[in-house]
Structure 1
């Protein structure tokens, strides 16, 4: 039977297991893929702990980890058009991606460009698409300066690159240990920590035009001080109430195939490099998740599934 990495209840790592599961069958609007790679994201362990997305029903256990995956289409469900068996695709999972077989939501899936590896494609639906949505939402003109907090992580590093591709100057906030990485993306690095606003003003005397926050308070509040127009403050790292109190807004996720096609095109052209820094086999999915959960990840972590 196919293998899948799951959690059997809400809680900590003790709830996780690699188990045998029946091969899923695609329902309406779904695609069944043989997984070649799955991205690892903070939301994965947060869901294990009991976090629930808005409108999401009570989970059924065992629950397969993973929100994004890339692989080869095996079968399509009723009503699915534009995809066929043998197609190389990537997208948002309907029911987990740390597995040998997974279901993708067809409306949030796209064909993988030949120039993009399965490993890189698997990182695009969550991190890169979130980054793209936030940069587009800010709608800054070319030549403007964007501050990205958490610039050394998966979403942050993608946001820096996408903003640069859109003609923006970027200031990236990250730990001192991530300086070289952030600067390699084309951003001015500013170390994280207390008195952030003071360091940003010193680094960018002409000021900041927009903020893309991926950290939350207290960094969010301090970054907001740098803006004259608080409508140019968005966050994917803080609750809606917190950012609204500062005059900003949460990132509005489009969750469309069009966004996935756009970020895949950026990746194919070399304007967006997912920077996959750690790769684990499915048998070591727990170690992959610990790397992200413990905050040690630089760039993206991916689980690869052998053919």
Structure 2
């Protein structure tokens, strides 16, 4: 039987297990893919604790498979599916988890994988890169403007920096000292996170900050709200909508469509976006992959790989 990495109830790492599961069957508008790579994101472990993404409703069915983004090969299509056929290499957002040998994808948020794009790189795009793309375009800052990014050293942050730089923005990235070299290599001005970071950011951007892309939330978001002249230019993917709206800003408005997936894949192929896959783990070590992200030690993206066709 196929294997999948699941959580059996809400809680901590003790709820996780690698188990045998039935091979999924695609429903209308879905494709079944043999997973070649699955991206690992903070939202994965947060969902294990009971977190729901904006717009999610209904009770989760246990055991629940981890993972929200994969790349793989179509093996079966559901009813009313056009544009995809068995053998196609694709990537997209999962319908019911992706840390598995097989996963279901909804065709509306699935795209063909360019031949020049590896499976591991493709698997990082539907969550982190697409969130970054949506947010940067939501802000709509003109070339030459200054964008401040909190949590700039993580998977989404690294993508934000690169997409913003490709659009001609000046970027100030707030992250730990250990991520200074990475951010500077991407063309960002690094500001060390921790107490006093906002004042350091003001010194790094003496002409002011035109927009803020927050990926941390909490106290960091509240401090960041005081930086842009117009709080409408404050967006977050790290805090609930009601929290940022009280500060005058907004959540990142996710498009969640194939058009955005194709756009970010094109950025990678053109060399304007490097997903920075820094570590890969086999499915049998999914626990180690998730711990690296949950503990905050990941630099760039962590990916789970399955099979041999990578």
TM-score, normalised by the number of residues in structure 1: 0.98
Q: 1:35 offset after TM fit, Å? A: 0.4
Cα distance, 1:10 vs structure 2: 1.1
Please name the residue that 1:219 is paired with: 220
Aligned match of 1:264 = 265
Deviation digits for residues 19-76 of structure 1 (CA, Å, limit 9, x no counterpart):
1111111001111000000000111111111112333210111111100000001011
Partner of residue 30, structure 1: 30
Q: Residue deviations 1:202-238, cap 9 Å, x none? A: 1111111000000112111111111111110000001
Match of 2:101 in 1: 100
What is aligned with 2:205? 204
Per the TM alignment, residue 260 of structure 1 is displaced from its structure 2 partner at its CA by 0.3
Q: Distance in 1 between the 2:56 and 2:38 partners? A: 24
Question: Any idea what SS the aligned residue of 2:117 has?
Answer: coil
Deviations 1:248-280 (A, max 9, x none): 001000000000000000011110000011100
Deviations 1:97-146 (A, max 9, x none): 00111111110010011111000000000000000010010000111110
- Deviation of 1:161 after TM superposition, in Å, equals 0.4
**Which whole-Å CA distance do the structure 2 matches of 1:241 and 1:20 have between them?**
40
Matched, 1:3 2:3: yes
Helix, strand or coil: the match of 1:218? helix
Q: How many residues align?
A: 307
CA contact (8 A) 1:95 1:103 kept: yes
SS at match of 1:133: helix
Two-structure CA RMSD over aligned residues (Å):
0.9
Structure 2 Cα separation of the partners of residues 121 and 191 of structure 1: 30
Give the secondary structure class of the aligned counterpart of 1:290.
helix
Whole-angstrom distance in 2 between the partners of 1:34 and 1:277: 23
Q: Specify the alignment match of 1:86 in structure 2.
A: 87
> Which runs of 5 or more residues in structure 1 are unaligned?
none
Structure 1 SS opposite 2:218: coil
Deviation at 1:11, TM superposition (A): 1.1
**Residue 196 of structure 1 contacts residue 223 of structure 1 at CA under 8 Å; is this kept in 2?**
no
Q: Does 1:193 align with 2:194?
A: yes
Distance 1:161 1:111 in 2: 23
Question: 1:49 maps to what in 2?
Answer: 49
Per the TM alignment, residue 197 of structure 1 is displaced from its structure 2 partner at its CA by: 2.1
| Aligned-pair CA distance for 1:240 | 1.3
1:146 equivalent in alignment to 2:144: no
